């Protein structure tokens, strides 16, 4: 199993629009082969304005993640959110124990 932490800094006032886009894509991602978890999260304590959004993911393996990244709905997602976020970063992690 691998984990992915995808963190985005949103443009001011774009939180609701981002959540709307995510509400449409999350069910599609969760139905993908190899998807174990795909959970958009807002910072609970440090970010009352919703400036940062993190998607916590778990995938069966790297092949499942690569297939996910190549789907049409992820291409559509990237296009839909390109003006909603300032930047983003992705970390792919493997369990240490």
How many Å apart are CA 34 and CA 52, to the nearest integer? 27
Structure-block tokens of residue 74:
């992820």
pLDDT single digits (tens) 14-48: 999 999 999 999 999 999 999 999 999 998 777 76
Query: For the segment 43-74, what is each residue's pLDDT rounded down to a tens digit?
Result: 877 776 778 999 999 999 999 999 999 999 99
Chain mean position to CA 12:
19
**Per-residue confidence (pLDDT) for residue 29, from 0 to 100:** 98
Sheet holding 2-10, edge to edge: 35-42, 52-59, 2-10, 85-93
**What are the tokens at 39?**
């959970």
């Amino acid at each position: 199993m691998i984990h992915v932490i995808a963190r985005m800094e949103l443009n001011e006032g774009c939180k609701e629009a981002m959540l709307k886009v995510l509400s449409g894509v999350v069910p599609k991602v969760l139905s993908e082969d190899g998807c174990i978890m795909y959970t958009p999260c807002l910072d609970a304590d440090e970010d009352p304005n919703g400036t940062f959004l993190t998607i916590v993911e778990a995938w069966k393996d790297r092949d499942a993640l690569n297939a996910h990244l190549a789907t049409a709905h992820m291409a559509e997602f990237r296009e839909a959110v390109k003006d909603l976020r300032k930047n983003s970063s992705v970390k792919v992690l493997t369990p240490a124990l």
